[in-house]
Amino acid sequence: MATTAVIDEKEKRNLWGGGAEPLRASYGKLMMWFFLLSDALSFSGLLITYGLSRFAHNAYTGKIADFVPSGNYWPVPEKVFTHIPFTHNPYPLVFVGIMTFILIMSSVTMVLAVEAGHRMDKEEVLKWMLWTIIGGAAFLGCQAWEWTIFIVGDKGRMIADGTTFFGANLHHNEYGPTLFADLFFFITGFHGTHVLSGVIINMIVFYNVAIGTYERVGHYEMVEKVGLYWHFVDLVWVFVFTFFYLV
């Protein structure tokens, strides 16, 4: 008995005594994980604020088909986000569905880049990184379009001072209470900033792969780290999609 205890103690000290990787992940990867954890808390703060604001306003109780925007109750998202480019017919949530699909696909190409990196296959890493960058840029383009539609507005709504207000800014919007548009800008904006920085970091890593930096270093761990960040951005969008657009 005594001997086993001594051996356990020794092994424990070896694992956490330095020179080993007790979590079997490198310093860089660990720090990326803990950064993402803190970023998850930031996004939670924003999305929970949305929940609080929504619960602090009256809910729309009528039939969805008869929905008319008003400052007195929270809007039904599928009645707000109905536009897709190049047509004026209403297609509720289709555009945001396409955006979700784009981001999921770019996440897939990112994992494929990481997989290629494990095999030291530079050409494949380059190919999949490029697709990831294209996917990210496409998502950003869609988001720019979405914001433009939201800001320009459609039918307009009479506001308190008796004038008809079109679209949205931080003070007024035609869709519902002020906070609805404010949170739209803050939440999708904060997420969009993450996508933008992700695309820029992806481009830098792509450049480094192309000039053979990681081949010289002997591993493609940087692709893995930027991959973690990119998947996290995708993960946040999954939550934004549900809690901003679906519920």
Partner 1 sequence: MGHGHHTTAHAPQVLPKDKEKIKKIWMTALILAVVTAIEFLLAFTMERGSLLTSIFVLLTFVKSFYIVGEFMHLKYEAKTLIWSIVIPTLFIVWLVVALLVEGNAILYFRNLWQWYAGLAK
Which positions lie near partner 1, rule CB under 8 A? 22-25, 30, 33, 37, 40-41, 44-45, 48-49, 51-58, 64, 76, 78, 92-93, 97, 100-101, 104-105, 107-108, 110-112, 115, 118-122, 215-216, 218, 227-228, 231-232, 234-235, 238-239, 241-243, 246-247
Name the amino acid, one letter, at 77: P
Q: Which residue number, 48 or 144, has a Cβ lying nearer to partner 1?
A: 48
> Smallest distance from the beta carbon of 102 to partner 1, in angstroms?
11
Cα separation, 154 vs 74, whole angstroms: 18
Q: Which residue number, 38 or 163, has a Cβ lying nearer to partner 1?
A: 38
> Smallest distance from the beta carbon of 245 to partner 1, in angstroms?
8
Token readout for 10 is 């020794």
> Smallest distance from the beta carbon of 166 to partner 1, in angstroms?
27
- Please, is 22 exposed, middle or buried when counting C-beta atoms within 10 Å of its C-beta (0-12, 13-18, 19+)? exposed
Bridge partners, 73 (sequence order): 58
Cβ neighbors of 205 (< 8 A, separation 6 or more) are 129, 222, 223, 226
Q: Which residue number, 156 or 212, has a Cβ lying nearer to partner 1?
A: 212
For 11, 18, 117, 118, the CA distances from 25, given in Å and listed in that order, are 19, 14, 16, 15
Q: Which residue has the tokens 């990119």?
A: 230
> Smallest distance from the beta carbon of 247 to partner 1, in angstroms?
6
> Smallest distance from the beta carbon of 155 to partner 1, in angstroms?
22
Strands 157-158, 164-165: pairing is antiparallel
Q: Which residue number, 167 or 194, has a Cβ lying nearer to partner 1?
A: 194
> Smallest distance from the beta carbon of 177 to partner 1, in angstroms?
11
Cβ neighbors of 21 (< 8 A, separation 6 or more) are none
Q: Which residue number, 172 or 231, has a Cβ lying nearer to partner 1?
A: 231
Q: Which residue number, 114 or 167, has a Cβ lying nearer to partner 1?
A: 114
